[in-house]
Amino acid sequence: MNIVATVVFVGLFLFITALGFLSAHWRKGDMNHLHEWGLGGRRFGGWITWFLIGGDLYTAYTFVAVPALVFGAGALGFFALPYTVLVYPMVFAILPRLWIVAKKHNYITASDFVAGRYGSPALALAIAVTGIVATMPYIALQLVGIQVVIGGLGFPAGHGLMGDVPLIIAFVILAAFTYTSGLRAPASIAVVKDLLVYITVIALIIVVPYKLGGFGNIFAAIPKEHLLLPPVKDGNLGLQSFYPTLAFGSALALMLYPHATTAVLSAKGPNTLRRNWVFLPAYSFMLGLIALLGYMAYASGIAKLPDLAPYFKQYGPQFAMPGLLLHYFPSWFVGVGFAAVAIGALVPAAIMSIAAANLFTRNIYKPYINPNCSPKKETDMAKLASLVVKFGALLFIVFLPLTYAIQLQLLGGILILQTLPAIVTGIYTRWFDAKALLLGWAAGLAWGIWAASLSGFHKSGYALHVGGLVIPAYIGLYALVINFAVAIVATLVISVLGMANKQDATVAADYAG
């Protein structure tokens, strides 16, 4: 066991634990109301919102998985860069309008908005269930980063009780401060998390190239097939079509995840959000540096070093970034870097569990189980649901092979994308009929699940054959096209039959502010 690194790691972990519990007294509000517990009272200003959204979207899994993908697959791993660039213009145009109408009607979740906009409990339920199902494996995957760094510290992570105990302790702590402090806890911890991540990445991006003789030597050591996407061959567009559709589809999906909506609705106003999205691309720049770590790990040959080879055998490419820390840095800084990964897992996991709890409470428990529940009972149920969600995510990792969680997360991206027609078009127009949107949602989900099942849920692409061309693309995007096509045709048919439901709890003035 690396004693020095472990001491630093535990020390930083104890610090954020204390910060998480103390957050309950920060900007104190009545925690018996769901908008206070689950949205921080909608009072987070510019800096906190910047750290919260950044900490929410750039997770520990990103910190570990992006270098891993570049290390193992090469240029494909850089798809994360264009998609995080594409997402900001879209959210700049869409989500401030959602914040305005949500504030006016006290909507806590996107499903609340759908229920009000379309007057359809069934459509709102479908959106809520989709969000919860898509979020569960996402929370589980945050544990991947913690597992990897626990293993790097010397614990036999993932093998027996000794490996699982640190993981269980981490999530018990997470459950405790989330229960007491709500969204205020990850909001305050996000500041520490981002500072640690920036320090770690900047150190890596300076020290490792210096040790390897510069970026010229690094890129010279990378095979050509790792640096470039393969060209079109025999009418098969291959990665040339899959890469842009994966980036675009991922950008569309990112803003629809419940945790993204929760972070957005916690801001104190639409202008706070707009200012944030001007500066949030700084995270995209950081992500580019993180991606380069995959090439550095490849060029340094650390996977073949005797002291690190066992880790790569156990964790595969996921150990690329931790391996660089262990090989090139003193033990005390290894503790800092590993703490950045672990804390970077807890922040989004906390927000995700709160978001899933908000969905369950507002869109399942209150309308279907206890319509007359008091605000306090509603909040208590959300706290309990957040514990259940975190416990379920922990079971994913402890009892199921990691590949299952990764495969479910692949499916989660496809599922969440099918909520776009109801949420995004609803922000701008009431043209679609609720029944038509529900049919489109069902058709998109059914086709997307079927297409993903063809590879045993191991791949996110589907090859469409058109004439002599083969066009591989992101399954979620193909499913979204089917979703929209069905919704448009069904809306036209329903309108002709005179069966349209124009019920709407909002008015045009609700979207202006």
Residues 112-171: tens digit of each pLDDT: 999 999 999 999 999 999 999 998 888 877 877 788 888 888 876 555 555 567 778 877
CB 141 within 8 A of CB 62: no
* 313 assigned to some structural domain: yes
- The dihedrals phi and psi of 306, each to the nearest 5 degrees, come to -55, -35
Length of the chain as a residue count: 513
Average pLDDT over residues 42-47: 87
Pairwise CA distance, residues 183 & 108, whole Å: 13
Average pLDDT over residues 270-279: 87
User: Token pair for residue 436?
Assistant: 């038509």
Lowest mean pLDDT among 3-12, 308-317, 331-340: 308-317
8-state DSSP, 232: P
Is pLDDT of 405 > 70? no
Phi-psi region of 158 (alpha: psi -120 to 50; beta: other; left: phi over 0): left
Three-state SS at 119: coil
pLDDT of residue 157: 53
Residues 62-99: tens digit of each pLDDT: 788 889 889 988 888 898 888 888 888 888 888 999 99
Pairwise CA distance, residues 205 & 292, whole Å: 8
Residue 234 confidence class, pLDDT cut points 50, 70, 90: confident
* 507 assigned to some structural domain: no
8-state DSSP, 231: P
Provide the mean pLDDT of the chain: 89
Residues 459-489: tens digit of each pLDDT: 889 999 998 899 999 999 999 999 999 999 9
pLDDT of residue 400: 67
Burial status of residue 497 (CB atoms within 10 A of its CB: 0-12, 13-18, 19 or more): exposed
* 321 assigned to some structural domain: yes
Gyration radius from the chain CA atoms = 23
* 513 assigned to some structural domain: no
CB 99 within 8 A of CB 265: yes
* 491 assigned to some structural domain: no
CB 127 within 8 A of CB 434: no
Pairwise CA distance, residues 153 & 83, whole Å: 33
Three-state SS at 465: strand
CB 72 within 8 A of CB 279: no
- Give the type of residue at 307: D
pLDDT of residue 402: 61
pLDDT of residue 211: 94
pLDDT of residue 407: 65
pLDDT exceeding 70 applies to what percent of the chain?
A: 96
Alpha-carbon distances of 415 from 70, 196, 351, 443, rounded to whole Å: 25, 33, 19, 11
* 505 assigned to some structural domain: no
Burial 188-206 (b: 16+ CB within 10 A, else e): bbbbbbbebbeebbebbbe
Burial status of residue 369 (CB atoms within 10 A of its CB: 0-12, 13-18, 19 or more): exposed
Pairwise CA distance, residues 287 & 281, whole Å: 9
CB 102 within 8 A of CB 370: no
User: Token pair for residue 294?
Assistant: 């995959």
Three-state SS at 457: coil
- By 3-state DSSP, what share of the chain in percent is helix, strand and coil, each rounded to 5? 80, 5, 20
Q: Where are the alpha helices (DSSP H) in 331-401?
A: 331-360, 375-399
Residues 155-202: tens digit of each pLDDT: 765 555 555 677 788 778 888 888 888 998 898 898 888 899 999 999
* 511 assigned to some structural domain: no
* 380 assigned to some structural domain: yes
Domain count of the fold of the chain: 1
pLDDT of residue 412: 86
Query: What CATH number does the domain containing 194 carry?
Result: 1.20.1730.10
